[in-house]
């Protein structure tokens, strides 16, 4: 009797399906024997190029072109842009590493630019001299024209801003002069005020790298407090 009741219930039960479409044959393409491609070509399809024996182009300061001693400061080579981002949300993204490398490079370059002013040393022309922070005596002769053009452009910008306000007949107050000097010194010591190293990179990638950096710094700052 029990068996008959179960059979009747199954017959009257409405059959539910996840989809009402017909059966569709699907082919999953993966690392199978039927694919006529080399392992490098299959990897390139997922991770991008530069896998056929070419040397890696890491942004690590250990694998870059070394450094130069400028005004007693070891200034590393300008970091190279990464070309091996897999866009998969890695824990240590190459763009985050690049952001750290750029910050370190700017810090050392600005430090050397500040110290070189007290000497007659000339910044190497092939080591990305910061023309806006160097005096003419510290700039290679081949870049004097570029330095003068930069100063002319800055003078035009300042003149445009100055024309918006009436000319002063009295000298600036001492407090204002001191504030301007502090701002100038702060600008020299600030390692991230420039866009050097990010010129040809989309803004959203720079914003992403900076956001991830700030997030990790915040996490590392909070972590010791929660461990107690």
Strand-pair partners of 69: 74
What span, in angstroms and rounded, lies between the C-alpha atoms of 161 and 175? Answer: 21
The predicted structure's pLDDT at residue 128: 92
Token pair in block for residue 57: 């182009």
Q: Considering only CA atoms, which of 93, 59, 89 is closest in space to residue 77? A: 59
Structural contact between residues 135 and 117, judged by C-beta atoms closer than 8 angstroms: yes
Count Cα neighbours of 12 within 13 Å in the Cβ-side half-sphere: 6
The predicted structure's pLDDT at residue 183: 76
The predicted structure's pLDDT at residue 161: 62
The predicted structure's pLDDT at residue 203: 82
The predicted structure's pLDDT at residue 193: 47
Q: Considering only CA atoms, which of 155, 114, 146, 150 is closest in space to residue 133? A: 114
H or E stretch at 99: helix 94-115
The predicted structure's pLDDT at residue 79: 86
The predicted structure's pLDDT at residue 61: 46
**With a cut of 50, which residues of the chain have pLDDT below it?**
51, 59, 61-62, 191-194, 225-228
3-state secondary structure at position 57: coil
Long-range contacts of range 54-57, CB-CB < 8 Å, 24 or more positions apart? 56/84, 57/82, 57/83, 57/84
Query: What is the value of pTM for the model shown?
Result: 0.56
The predicted structure's pLDDT at residue 4: 59
The predicted structure's pLDDT at residue 226: 44
The predicted structure's pLDDT at residue 191: 45
Burial code of 21-50, b = ≥16 C-beta within 10 A, e = fewer?
eeeeeeeeeeeeeeeeeeeeebeeeeeeee
């Amino acid at each position: 009797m029990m068996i008959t009741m179960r059979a009747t219930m199954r017959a009257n039960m409405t059959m539910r399906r996840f989809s009402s479409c017909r059966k569709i044959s699907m082919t999953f393409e993966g690392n199978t024997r039927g694919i006529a491609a080399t392992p490098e070509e299959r990897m390139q399809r997922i991770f991008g190029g530069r896998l056929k024996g070419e040397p890696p182009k890491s942004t690590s300061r250990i694998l870059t072109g070394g450094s130069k001693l400028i005004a007693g400061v070891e200034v590393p080579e300008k970091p190279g842009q990464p070309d091996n981002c897999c866009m998969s949300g890695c824990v240590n993204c190459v763009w985050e590493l690049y952001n750290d490398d750029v910050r370190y490079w700017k810090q050392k370059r600005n430090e050397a630019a500040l110290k070189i002013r007290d000497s007659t040393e000339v910044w190497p022309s092939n080591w990305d001299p910061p023309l806006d922070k160097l005096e003419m005596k510290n700039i290679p002769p081949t870049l004097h024209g570029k330095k003068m053009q930069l100063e002319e452009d800055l003078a035009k910008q300042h003149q445009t801003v100055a024309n918006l306000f009436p000319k002063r007949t009295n000298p600036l107050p001492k407090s204002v002069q001191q504030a301007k000097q502090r701002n100038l010194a702060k600008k020299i010591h600030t390692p991230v005020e420039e866009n050097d190293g990010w010129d040809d990179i989309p803004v959203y990638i720079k914003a992403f790298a900076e956001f991830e950096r700030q997030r990790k710094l915040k996490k590392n700052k909070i972590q010791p407090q929660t461990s107690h």
